Chain A
Amino acid sequence: MSIKTARRIRLTLSYLVLLSAIAIVVYPILWVIGSSFNPGNTLSSSTIIPENATLTHYKKLFAETDYLIWYWNTLKICFITMVLSVIFIGLTAYAFSRYKFIGRKNGLLLFLILQMIPQFVAILAIYILAYQVGLLDTHFALILVYVGGLIPMNTYLAKNYYDTIPKELDESARIDGAGHFRIFWQIILPLSKPILAVIALFSFISPFADFILASILISSDEKMTLAVGLFNMIKNEFGNSFTLFAAGSVLVAIPIGLLFLSLQRYFISGLTAGGTKG
């Protein structure tokens, strides 16, 4: 067998592998898009290429369900979570990277480990606490829990990134008379934009995926988030409103997917910069 044939076989196999991978990856996505245009309501009538494509489900979604309200709620929660997380994490990581204080060495590690403990039973405690301080069924409670959950891991990533910024920069600024906060604001912050952007994206996207906390802490319909709303849509009568769910999913997946695809380079670089150095 000549080198040329060997190469041709290798390339053909490679393309075959890639094509089948693409088929497997794309099929469910195309199927759900197809389903969302299907005239019927049920799972059985869902096909990948609808025969009489229709927009009924999309119209129904806007007219008969609270879909837009859920969407708005989710965007609001995600946005506030993002802003608060970036502020908290940016400041905390700065202290961890540059200062000596009690708890520096083990504080972050402690929380990273504690966070791995499953929280379902503990949600009871959060529920009762929220009830007692009157925050039950508010977005504020949800946001606080999300922000708290995001702090340890992302602080760790940000700290590792800050550590790569030379300390000589701080020192020369200090000699020039800059205060603690000014050093942070004018030197560290501009240099750490890439990692903060990654953290902002993470914090924006992660509340999207949560439906446990949201379903427990939020009870009224008009405060629900997308994940809970969509889940209820198919949990209650699985199959009977599947196409409606499909339409709802498509409208969630497209913007998030696009946002993600356009920014995925930063995700990867942020993760590898902050994570692999360990």
Chain B
Amino acid sequence: MTHRKTAALLSIIPGMGQFYNKQFVKGFAFLFLAVCYFIAFLDFLNIGLWGIVTLGTEVPRDHSIFLLVNGVISILVVGIGLAFYYFNLYDAYQNGKKRDNGLELSTLKEQYHNVVDKGFPYLMVGPGFLLLIFVVIFPIIFMLLLAFTNYNLYNSPPAKLVDWVGFKNFIEIFSLDIWRETFVSVFAWTIIWTFTATTLQVAVGIFLAVVLNQKEIKFKGVIRTLLILPWAVPAFVSILIFSGLFNDTFGAINQSILAPLGIDSLPWMTDPFYTKIALIFIQSWLGFPFVMAMTTGVLQSIPGELYEAATVDGASNWDKFRKITLPMILFTTAPILITQYTFNFNNFNVIYLFNNGGPAVADQNAGGTDILISWIYNLTMTSAQYSKAAAVTVLLSLIIVSLALWQFRKTKSFKDEGMI
């Protein structure tokens, strides 16, 4: 039997393969870590894995949701353990291979330098990734699992146990009328909202930047500063201010602007149609300065000779805008403009803070202006339909993730080149 196989086999007990390769310090370190791992986590893993399979068997001793949380953490701990275990086998195998080929194994000092050298990037990335595992990965796994349970207001711990129900939630979203109709109408509005609000804010931003950037315009600096204000004021403050301004009975829009023009009060907060108009207006107000500022940067970098050459060729202002300015802007800012769309797709703040997704609409369990994300919020926080909310989130995530993957595949930033 070759050294590599023997070493790898022995390493089924961590460290043994390293002993076999006569790397005693490393072997001890592996063995020690493995023992520590088992002493520290055995009980926790035992209960955690039992909990995630059964979700508890006895009321009120077992709290299903706590068991689920601990179960997810157990899975993560097992994952880290397996990674370590794999590394242990890999290391034994590699060093065995070196012996098979008659190569010298590294001395303790060299091993130390190796660890410092190779380990450096892991040391840099490690803390951040550990945090991300708990803040991003762990909640997502939890949410994913929750979508397959029957956790809701009427079936919640500590009074009752939660059970695994398979795809029931997903099937119900599409088979029960109220869920299906709500889902379809919310989804439709989400798409309309994303496209109109974002396109409008981008168009207004580019338009104002181009108008402002004409060389004859005076006081450019002052005007630009004033126009950038909506970006500078924290958005939650502005949205709450708007919800006051648009108030049906007392709001200044109806009282001070429309009334003097002889227009009757419009139901901004109580009619879904007008709320939608108001929301799109508010989002354009909030979002255009960013696009304007960015476009201004691009405009100032377009060489003047291009325009002079165009003038010589007899191009009109409109031609210049269409053939030079616009392509330049769109080309340089496209990646950021795309993120504006994804941002609005998930723009919870404006929908929730303005009118809480309202006004209410008959025959569905979402408000008239709820987009998917605010609907999920209300399902979770107000009506305690946790598992349904999780199922809707999973559906939404599938859409977002596939779109994002498609978008990112086109970026070159992550190609390996010139690495150390």
Contacts and interface: CB of A to CB of B under 8 A. Distances in A.
* A and B are interacting partners: yes
Contact of B140 (A114, A159, A261): A114
A132 interface: yes
Contacts of B353: 231
Interface string A31-48: 110010000001110111
Contact of A124 (B231, B249, B372, B380): B380
Given A32-B241, A230-B240, A122 B234 contact: no
B418 interface: yes
B312 interface: no
B236 interface: yes
A14 B191 CA distance: 33
Interface stretch (A52-60, A64-72, A191-199, A251-259): A251-259
A91 interface: yes
Given A43-B244, A98-B419, A119-B139, A128 B66 contact: yes
B383 interface: no
Contacts of B396: 117-118
Contacts of B235: 209
A117 B373 CA distance: 10
Nearest to A114: B136
Contacts of B230: 25
Contacts of B377: 120, 212
Contacts of A120: 373, 376-377, 380-381, 389, 393
Contact of A115 (B127, B136, B216): B136
Interface string B71-97: 011000000000000000000000000
Interface in A132-162: 132, 144-145, 147-149, 151-152, 155-156, 159-160
A22 interface: yes
Contacts of A42: 250
B158 interface: no
Interface in A74-109: 88-89, 91-92, 94-96, 98-101, 103-109
Classify the interface of chain B: helix, strand, loop or mixed.
Answer: helix
B213 to A, nearest CB: 10
B234 A124 contact: no
Nearest to A6: B317
Contact of B142 (A122, A180, A272, A278): A122
Nearest to A126: B139
B142 A271 contact: no
A230 B244 CA distance: 13
B252 A48 contact: yes
Interface stretch (B7-15, B23-31, B220-228): B220-228
B107 interface: no
B251 to A, nearest CB: 7
Nearest to A253: B233
A26 B66 contact: no
Interface string B150-162: 0000000000000
A116 B223 CA distance: 35
Contacts of A109: 408, 414
B128 interface: yes
Contacts of B348: 118, 212
B232 A257 contact: yes
Most buried by A among B143, B237, B353, B413: B237
Contacts of A107: 125, 129
Interface string B377-420: 10011000010011001001100110011001001111010111
A50 interface: no
Contacts of B146: 121, 124
B245 interface: yes
A32 to B, nearest CB: 5
A100 B125 CA distance: 12
Interface residues of B, number: 103
B137 interface: yes
Given A28-B245, A88-B131, A124-B142, A278 B412 contact: yes
B122 interface: yes
Nearest to B404: A113
Nearest to A170: B420
Given A92-B128, A128-B66, A264-B293, A253 B237 contact: yes
Given A46-B252, A253-B237, A18 B217 contact: yes
Contact of A128 (B69, B207, B238): B69
B297 interface: yes
B135 interface: yes
Nearest to B83: A102
Nearest to A16: B211
B346 interface: yes
A252 B135 contact: no
B419 A239 contact: no
Interface in A223-278: 227, 230-231, 234, 239, 242, 245-246, 249, 252-253, 256-258, 260-261, 264, 267-269, 271-272, 275-278
Given A120-B393, A278-B335, A160 B413 contact: yes
Nearest to B389: A121
Given A256-B233, A268-B293, 19 more contacts: A11-B214, A17-B211, A18-B212, A101-B125, A106-B414, A118-B373, A124-B142, A125-B142, A128-B69, A129-B138, A132-B66, A144-B135, A167-B418, A249-B241, A253-B233, A260-B231, A261-B229, A272-B336, A275-B339
Interface of A: 7, 10-11, 14-15, 17-18, 21-22, 24-26, 28-29, 31-32, 35, 42-44, 46-48, 88-89, 91-92, 94-96, 98-101, 103-109, 111-126, 128-129, 132, 144-145, 147-149, 151-152, 155-156, 159-160, 163, 167, 170, 180-181, 205, 208-209, 211-212, 227, 230-231, 234, 239, 242, 245-246, 249, 252-253, 256-258, 260-261, 264, 267-269, 271-272, 275-278
29 contacts: A10-B317, A11-B216, A18-B227, A21-B227, A25-B230, A32-B244, A43-B250, A43-B251, A46-B250, A91-B125, A94-B124, A95-B125, A99-B120, A105-B416, A111-B132, A117-B143, A120-B393, A124-B386, A148-B132, A149-B135, A151-B132, A152-B136, A163-B413, A231-B353, A252-B237, A253-B237, A257-B232, A269-B297, A272-B332
